[in-house]
Amino acid sequence: MVKKSTTKTADEKLLVGIDLGTSRSAISADNKKKEWIESYVGWPKDFISRRVIGKPVLIGEEAVKHRLSLDMYRPLQNGVIKEGTARDEEAVQEMIRHLVELVKTEKGSKIRAVIGVPAESFKVNKIALRKAVSEFAEALFVVSEPFAVAYGVEALDNAMVIDIGAGTMDFCIMHGTIPSEEDQRTVITAGDYIDEQLFTFLKERYPDADFTMNMVHRFKEEHSFVGDIENEIKVEIPVNGKSTSHTITAEMKRACESILPAMVESTLELIAKFDPEYQDAIRTNILLAGGGSQIKGIGSYLEKALGEYGPSKVNIVGDPLFCGADGALELAREMPEEYWTEL
pLDDT in tens, the chain (343 residues): 333 444 444 456 899 999 988 889 999 999 999 999 999 999 999 999 999 999 999 999 999 999 999 999 988 776 667 665 678 888 988 999 999 999 987 766 788 999 988 776 666 667 778 888 888 889 999 888 899 999 999 999 999 999 999 988 999 999 999 888 888 888 989 999 999 999 999 999 999 999 999 999 999 999 999 999 999 999 999 999 999 999 999 999 999 999 999 999 999 999 999 999 999 999 999 999 999 999 999 999 999 999 999 999 999 999 999 999 999 999 999 989 998 988 8
Is the CATH code 3.50.50.60 the one for domain 13-149+322-342? no
- Left (φ > 0), alpha (ψ -120 to 50) or beta: where does 54 sit? left
Q: 191-257: what fold?
A: Nucleotidyltransferase; domain 5 (3.30.420)
Q: Which residues contact 231 (CB under 8 A, 6 or more apart)?
A: none
Question: What is the C-alpha to C-alpha distance for residues 57 and 323, in angstroms, rounded to an integer?
Answer: 28
Give this prediction's pTM. Answer: 0.88
Please, where in the chain does CATH 3.30.420.40 lie?
13-149+322-342, 191-257
pLDDT value of residue 124: 64
- Left (φ > 0), alpha (ψ -120 to 50) or beta: where does 241 sit? left
pLDDT value of residue 226: 97
pLDDT value of residue 129: 80
